[in-house]
Amino acid sequence: MSQRLLQAATTGLRGPFIAAILAFLVGLPCAMIIPPLDRDESRFVQASTQMLETGDFINISYQDDPRHKKPVGIHWLQAASASLTSAEGARDVLAYRWPSLLGAALAAFALTWGAGHLFDNRRGLKAGIIFGVSFLLSTEAFIAKTDAVQAGLITLSMVALAIIYTRWKSLPPDAEKPKIFKEKLIFWVALAGTILIKGPIGPMVFAACALTLLAWDAQAKNGNARWFKHLGWSWGILLVILLVGPWAIAITIATDGSFWKTSIGDDLAPKLISGDEGHFAWPGTHTLLLPLLFFPGSFLLGGALQTALSRFREPAIRFAICWFLPAFLVFELSPTKLVHYPLPTYGGLALLAAVSLSMPLKTWAKVMNTVLGLFGGALISLIVIYGLSEFGSTGAAPLVSLTVASSLLVSGLGAFFLWRHHKRTGLLCLLGAGIAAHLCFVTTLSQLKPLWVTQSLEQALIDTRLDPRQGLHPGPVAILGYEEPSFVFAMGTKTELAETVPEAIAALKQNRPVYVESRFEEDFRAALHAGRISARRVTTVEGHNYSNGKAVKITLYQSQ
């Protein structure tokens, strides 16, 4: 019976859709419960909101400042999503998170589809689900920024390239060209999409993979470069230009070319040279975090390594290695590191992990599976335990217990079954552990109230009936000393981020609500006294700003 069900589930496109739906559903509850995040997510959604407010879908702005960092693709998707799923001016962050959820679903769908062509439908479904429930992709799935959508498009382009590569490698030297126009079209369209989402990252992953394949094949003397020569370069590059060019021309004209100077010279280049914006980390950081971010697939890393070492002569395995390793090393060697950077390479690793499930593993691979998997589970457990001890309450303790039980006990049971060659049962335990651990982990975070300062600030305005949106007091709200973009997104584009005490005093004189962070409060009260201005302290919000790691104390003032 189970064999018939598995056969039915993996027939045609059912497998890709199952993987996509699972990836979508793993991220959906998290997207519904987590407030807007600082800083990148809130900057993205605020810029997308301003597109809807102004009707300008070419320029990207955050309040009055141009935001010339990333291409426009994600903002178009978010603006379309918000206009279709929420009321005008609602500022519901979930409305902006749908593209990321769909991007994660696309990544799982694409990998399942591609792996089905490279191997078989069953291993394709395993690869797609392993990737779809991985800790990093499931997290990026509910954050409204570029990375989940980029992962989906890069995965689609790379699996199309993998099919092209393996089809060519399976032909004798004098055979006719394979009929792979559909795969070529998918590759070029998806590559153009990656450029519109995050510029050079998609082409970099492609180039790293393709050049490594060409060099490896040439060194091994077991193939030629026909797959690369016949990739459809002439019409493919033209198609990319047609898809990307109109916006590139429009933004160049609209900004007199300053977009490119800022995005390349001020944003991209510093990341390649030094640790930009305080995000420097030593080489090895991404490798150390891999057991955490690939969890529960980290219980298959030993098997993935054995697969790569023992079967690298097979074209599909060789492609998976070249997809993952070269680009991963680029991210590893780059001075600027954020944990999500290597996500586009995880598809290749998931392929190797899925194949390992159908192989007899050596003892060293089993040990490596277990050690790295438990290490990843231990990191998840330590993070939630630390969060509870620093910012939580006893009400969050059951969630922490469930997180630890899922990430260590249930996953450990899965490792035991894999060791005893009950691979289907072991994989089901691992997938269940990964889904449960991630959901409990994120739910625990949502309960750590001191971390959600903006939410507390907004609620304080509502509770004291000082929120300008209630129509009782003029706006916009002014805030001195706390400049996180989540507050701007919550309270509106015109929110005043005061830079000096006189600016905050001027807002108070206009009978507008004013928040003052404790670092500025002494000077603020001195200015009130000197100017003989009557104001009352309404309430004080305390919390922890996770963006800079500092405790904050912010007082709300109202003029009298």
pLDDT tens-digit readout, 123-173? 999 999 999 999 999 999 999 999 999 999 999 999 999 999 999 998 877
Give the pLDDT confidence of 434-482 residue by residue, as tens digits. 999 999 999 999 999 999 999 999 999 999 999 999 998 999 999 999 9
CATH code linked to domain 452-559: 3.40.190
Is the sign of the CA dihedral 358, 359, 361, 365 positive or negative?
A: negative
User: Are 352 and 304 a contacting pair, CB within 8 Å?
Assistant: yes
* Interval 37-46: pLDDT, tens: 999 999 999 9
Whether the pLDDT of residue 7 is over 70: the answer is no
Distant-in-sequence, close-in-space partners of 171: CB < 8 Å, separation ≥ 6: 178
Cα–Cα distance measured from residue 54 to residue 70, given in angstroms and rounded to the nearest whole number: 19
Residue 276 has pLDDT above 60, yes or no: no
Whether the predicted pLDDT of 266 surpasses 70? no
Would you state the pLDDT for residue 176? 79
Residue percentage of the chain with pLDDT more than 70: 95
Residue with tokens 């879908």: 57
Domain ranges of the chain: 2-36+104-359, 364-449, 452-559
Lowest mean pLDDT among 274-278, 292-296, 349-353, 379-383: 274-278
Find the mean pLDDT for residues 101-106: 98
Tell me what pLDDT residue 1 has: 43
Beta-bridged to residue 540, according to DSSP, are 555
pLDDT band at 274 (very low <50, low <70, confident <90, very high): low
The answer to whether residue 498 scores a pLDDT higher than 80 is yes
Query: Own/partner pairs for 281-285, CB < 8 Å, 24+ apart?
Result: 281/335, 281/337, 283/332, 283/333, 284/332, 285/332, 285/337
Q: What is the mean pLDDT of the chain?
A: 93
User: What is the token pair recorded at 474?
Assistant: 């003029």
CB 91 within 8 A of CB 124: no
Q: How far apart are CA 494 and CA 10, in angstroms?
A: 52
- Mean pLDDT of the 256-278 span: 72
385-400 per-position pLDDT tens digit: 999 999 987 778 999 9
Quick check: 212 pLDDT over 90?
A: yes
Phi first, then psi, for residue 379 (nearest 5°) are -65, -45
Least confident range from 23-27, 151-155, 210-214, 281-285: namely: 281-285
pLDDT of residue 225: 87
Long-range contacts of 498-502 (CB under 8 A, 24+ apart): 501/527, 502/527
pTM of the model: 0.95
Q: How many CB atoms lie within 10 A of CB 3?
A: 7
**What integer is the mean pLDDT of 269-291?**
77
